[in-house]
Amino acid sequence: MSNILEDIVASKLTEVSQAKSKVPVEQLAEALADAAPVRDFVASMQSHGPVAMIAEVKKASPSAGVIREDFHPVEIARIYESAGAACLSVLTDEQYFQGHLDFLIAVRKNVAIPVLRKDFIIDRYQVLEARVAGADCVLLIAECLDDAQLEDLYGYALELGMSALVEIYEPDNLERVLKLSPPLLGINNRNLKTFVTSLDHSIRLGAQVPADCLLISESGIRDRSDVLKLQESGVRGILVGETLMRSSDIGEKARELLGHASQPTQ
């Protein structure tokens, strides 16, 4: 079976080297002076209880294809914000998710809550690019990074004033990510090799996460009962994309997940 993560990482290597030849790192670093001040992603997650939502702006994915044709990132982001999302996640990968760094730039300027750059980060250049674009947090996927890379990219994100959301799928990666003492830890419910998605994955693996680390269950969350089930298992954050993006009333669906719905929807 082909492993999508390996394919994506391979194309990221090319993408990053092309980006570096277009805008050398020294030039990119000069733009840091003009970057907006960082918003505290971790604090926003911690202050939105009992379960804080990271709402994702995502047009398409390798597992689902195009999720939403009628795609206006800023409009969607504003709806998420007013529905009570703690933070936003914006896909910036172009090839596999039909995202764009420009979406993040536009979203960040039009909301007041912190924004995560959702991409496959394998190089410091992408972390710098994220900060220059206005990102408050970057995603670091343990399955794409060895220990040295993980530590380096994590440290660099912090150095630039951002937070990093460290994500794992494989149970074997838990121990090595906990060495960073991250305030946030994401457990992906979706196996990126098979696309099989099960909430039980973050529930089971989450039981091994220390209480001082805010546990975020990612992917495959569909309704209020899912959220309650996760909450009962100690999950304090959720990352939701597809369910919201497929909804004909995004705001209502977001409020339903958070338990703020005017009327429960089925």
Ligand X SMILES: O=P(O)(O)OC[C@@H](O)[C@@H](O)c1c[nH]c2ccccc12
> Interface with ligand X includes 56 (CB under 6 A)?
yes
> Interface with ligand X includes 239 (CB under 6 A)?
yes
Contact string 139-178 vs ligand X (x = CB under 6 A): --x-------------------------x-----------
CB of 27 to ligand X, least distance (A): 28
> Interface with ligand X includes 92 (CB under 6 A)?
no
> Interface with ligand X includes 241 (CB under 6 A)?
yes
CB burial string 145-176: b at 16+ within 10 A, e below? beeebbeebbebbeebebbbbbbbbeeebbeb
CB of 53 to ligand X, least distance (A): 11
Q: Determine the interface stretch with ligand X among 38-46, 154-162, 175-183, 237-245 (rule: CB under 6 A).
A: 237-245
> Interface with ligand X includes 226 (CB under 6 A)?
no
Which long-range contacts does 79-82 make (Cβ < 8 Å, 24+ apart)?
79/250, 79/251, 79/254, 80/55, 80/111, 80/244, 80/250, 80/251, 80/254, 81/111, 81/112, 81/113, 82/251
Query: Between the CA atoms of 241, 242, 246 and 248, what dihedral angle is there, to the nearest 10 degrees?
Result: -30
Measured from the CB atom, the residue of 123 and 242 that comes closer to ligand X is 242
Q: Determine the interface stretch with ligand X among 35-43, 76-84, 130-138, 234-242 (rule: CB under 6 A).
A: 234-242
Burial of 211 (C-beta count, 10 Å sphere; 0-12/13-18/19+): exposed
Q: What angle do CA 6, 124, 66 make, to 5 degrees?
A: 45
Contact 189, 197 (CB under 8 A): yes
The count of residues interacting with ligand X (CB under 6 A) is 15
DSSP for 94-156 reads STTT---HHHHHHHHHH-SS-EEEES---SHHHHHHHHHHT-SEEEEEGGG--HHHHHHHHHH
Residues 122-141 that bind ligand X (CB under 6 A): 141
Q: Determine the interface stretch with ligand X among 41-49, 172-180, 199-207, 239-247 (rule: CB under 6 A).
A: 239-247
Measured from the CB atom, the residue of 20 and 222 that comes closer to ligand X is 222
Interface pick for ligand X out of 218, 236, 237, 250 (rule CB under 6 A): 218
> Interface with ligand X includes 15 (CB under 6 A)?
no
Interface pick for ligand X out of 188, 214, 251, 255 (rule CB under 6 A): 188
Q: By CB under 6 A, name the binding residues for ligand X.
A: 56, 58, 118, 141, 167, 188, 218-221, 239-243
